[in-house]
């Protein structure tokens, strides 16, 4: 039997001959790359393997391959989608696949939802129908873009007669996005949409704008409230977690940008420096001071860079186990606070038998005298029903009805009963040490945090 050659030689010969033929092009000038045995598009990786041998066909940006004057796409989503083919149907199924984590409809989950949507939109080439004049997008500037602008773009899209696959692509994208979005919503937003589906007309951008309008309120009052919160940032409000504080700031900045009221970078920087300085960790505060000097010298200006530095330092201190450690100064202040509390308790005059200042039981016994007066221990007592002595009727030495304090006419509440007493004394003591107001507040917050724990 004659030698017919190695298996696959004929296939290789056919492939080589086919690849030497001019590449067919569609009406838009794109190369139509077909499998030699099927009519479906072959993956771009196979095309690159068969046609690129020395890299000469890759442009300077590395973004596309050139063969015979046409462009070989680096992603199947960059080409036309023909739903009559197996490849087109596969792309459709992949595009409408919903997110695993459904959007709850609450503002706290909006940033995550938009991030997931952006990934899908960039992958599936949906950004064209999400972009509006002045390079605004529904993913970022949803507070500025009006519903009328969205529906106008939808009506133009639907009114355009599609004679080619390329012309039909915007409507295919819109419908894919609609199914993807609707199935990615939780029960609450789906319920809100139940009466508006007819107006949405199965249009992805219109559905997205409707969901965002239900979630985000872009009013002057809401943006003012958000900006106001920047001036009240403090680590103790985030349980001393730098990650949580920074993430909240990022979300607030995104909300303001979406509404067209982006915060000034300098204002946010100042607010962050003030917030970081409320930390009780001296090493972290030293790092913040160094960053502030760099910022003042113009070494960096970006808010995100500052937050990344703070995140990294916080993570480092947490890993070292030194983030929650108190400084020697804080220990001294806590000891001072304990001493003040001890003195406060001693001043209240308590002992093993109870409060020495508590009135004798007979003073509350109305039956020991039928009249309004009582002579006892060479003193004349009168029956008084308050408003002093906690409004408890008792025998007293003052004129009935003239009291505002305890049984002997003294004010029943004192500085010792005031929960602010220890803090006030502590603030006075700290001021005498020459500390500034920010240092005093930081130390007091540290003490409160320790006491709470």
- Asked which of 32-46, 86-100, 272-286 is least confident by mean pLDDT, the reply is 32-46
For residue 144, pLDDT beyond 70: yes
Is 367 domain-assigned? no
Residue 207 has pLDDT above 60, yes or no: yes
pLDDT of residue 379: 87
- d(CA 230, CA 264) in angstroms, rounded, equals 11
Same domain, 118 and 178: yes
Interval 349-361 mean pLDDT = 58
- Average pLDDT of the chain is 76
Is 196 part of any domain? yes
Residues 205, 138 share a domain: yes
Tell me which residue range forms the domain holding 166. Answer: 93-215
Question: pLDDT at residue 128 above 80?
Answer: yes
Residue 313 falls within a domain, yes or no? yes
Which tens digits make up the pLDDT trace of 17-26? 433 444 444 4
Pairing mode, strands 131-132 and 394-396: unpaired
Is 2 domain-assigned? no
Report CA Rg, the chain. Answer: 37
Residues 166 and 232 reside in one and the same domain: no
Please indicate, yes or no, whether residues 113 and 204 belong to a single structural domain of this protein: yes
User: According to the model, what pLDDT value does residue 41 have?
Assistant: 36
Is residue 356 one of the residues assigned to a domain?
no
User: In the prediction, which pLDDT does 20 show?
Assistant: 42
Are residues 29 and 42 both part of a single domain?
yes
Same domain, residue pair 143 and 211: yes
Same domain, 183 and 230: no
Q: How far apart are CA 178 and CA 208, in angstroms?
A: 8
Task: Say if CB 383 and CB 375 are below 8 A apart.
Answer: no
The reported pLDDT for the residue numbered 306 is 95
**Domain closes at, from 215, 238, 265:** 215
How many whole angstroms separate alpha carbon 90 and alpha carbon 156? 28
Same-domain pairing of 68 and 103: no
Q: pLDDT band for position 336 (50/70/90)?
A: low
Segment 368-401, tens digit of pLDDT? 888 888 888 888 888 888 777 777 888 888 888 7
108 with 210, same domain: the answer is yes
Kindly indicate the confidence band of residue 7, based on its pLDDT and cuts at 50, 70 and 90.
Answer: very low
Phi, psi of 391 (to 5 degrees): 60, 25
Inter-CA distances, 322 with 158, 294, 327, Å: 61, 25, 10
In this predicted structure, the answer to whether residue 412 has a pLDDT above a threshold of 50 is: no
pLDDT of residue 221: 58
Q: Are residues 337 and 448 in the same domain?
A: yes
Whether 293 shows a pLDDT value over 90: the answer reads yes
Answer yes or no: is pLDDT of 125 > 80. yes
Tell me what pLDDT residue 210 has.
Answer: 94
Q: Which two tokens stand for residue 50?
A: 């068969």
Tell which of 47, 74, 101 closes a domain.
74
User: 354 in a domain, yes or no?
Assistant: no
Q: Residue 30 falls within a domain, yes or no?
A: yes
Residues 232 and 267 placed together within one structural domain of the fold: yes
pLDDT value of position 387: 77
Residue 390 belongs to a domain: no
The total of structural domains in the chain comes to 4
Alpha helices in 141-281 (DSSP H): 147-159, 165-183, 187-193, 197-200, 204-215, 220-230, 242-258, 265-276
Say what the pLDDT of residue 232 is: 83
pLDDT in the model for residue 174: 97
In which band, very low, low, confident or very high, does the pLDDT at 4 lie, cut at 50, 70 and 90? Answer: very low
Residue 111 and residue 193 share a domain: yes
Residue ending a domain, among 215, 250, 265, is: 215
The answer to pTM > 0.75 is no
């Amino acid at each position: 039997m004659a030698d017919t050659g190695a298996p696959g030689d004929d296939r290789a010969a056919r492939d080589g001959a086919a690849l030497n033929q001019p590449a067919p092009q569609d009406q838009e000038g794109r190369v139509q790359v077909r499998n030699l045995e099927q009519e479906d598009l072959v993956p771009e990786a196979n095309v690159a393997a068969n046609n690129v041998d020395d890299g000469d066909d890759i442009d300077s940006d590395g973004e596309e391959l050139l063969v015979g004057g046409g462009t070989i796409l680096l992603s199947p989503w960059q080409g036309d989608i023909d739903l009559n083919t197996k490849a087109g149907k596969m792309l459709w199924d992949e595009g409408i696949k919903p997110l695993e984590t459904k959007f709850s409809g609450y503002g706290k989950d909006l940033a995550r939802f938009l991030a997931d949507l952006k990934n899908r939109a960039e992958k599936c080439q949906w950004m064209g129908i999400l972009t509006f004049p002045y390079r605004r997008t529904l993913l970022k500037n949803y507070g500025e873009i009006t519903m009328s602008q969205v529906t106008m773009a939808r009506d133009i899209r639907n009114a355009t007669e599609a004679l080619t696959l390329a012309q039909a692509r915007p409507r295919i994208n819109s419908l894919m996005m609609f199914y993807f979005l609707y199935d990615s919503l939780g029960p609450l937003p789906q319920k809100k949409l139940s009466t508006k589906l007819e107006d949405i007309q199965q249009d992805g951008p219109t559905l997205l704008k409707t969901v965002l309008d239900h979630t985000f309120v872009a009013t002057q009052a809401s943006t003012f409230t958000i900006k106001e919160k920047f001036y009240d940032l403090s680590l103790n409000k985030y349980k001393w977690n730098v990650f949580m504080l920074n993430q909240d700031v990022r979300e607030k900045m995104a909300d303001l940008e979406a509404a067209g009221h982006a915060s000034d970078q300098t204002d946010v920087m100042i607010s962050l420096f003030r917030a970081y300085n409320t930390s009780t960790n001296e090493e972290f505060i030293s790092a913040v001071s160094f960053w502030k000097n760099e910022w003042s010298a113009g070494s960096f200006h970006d808010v995100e860079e500052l937050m990344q530095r703070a995140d990294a330092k916080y993570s480092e201190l947490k890993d070292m186990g030194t983030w929650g450690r108190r400084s020697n100064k804080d220990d001294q202040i806590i000891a001072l606070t304990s001493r003040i509390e001890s003195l406060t308790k001693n001043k209240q005059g308590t002992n093993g038998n109870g409060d020495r200042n508590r009135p004798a039981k007979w003073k509350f016994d109305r039956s020991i005298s039928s009249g309004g007066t009582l002579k006892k221990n060479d003193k004349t007592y009168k029956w008084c029903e308050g408003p002093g002595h906690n409004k408890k009727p008792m025998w007293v030495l003052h004129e009935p009805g003239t009291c505002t304090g305890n049984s002997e006419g003294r004010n029943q509440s004192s500085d010792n009963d005031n929960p602010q007493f220890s803090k006030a004394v502590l603030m006075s003591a700290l001021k005498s040490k020459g500390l500034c107001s920010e240092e005093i507040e930081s130390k007091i917050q540290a003490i409160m945090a320790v006491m709470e724990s």
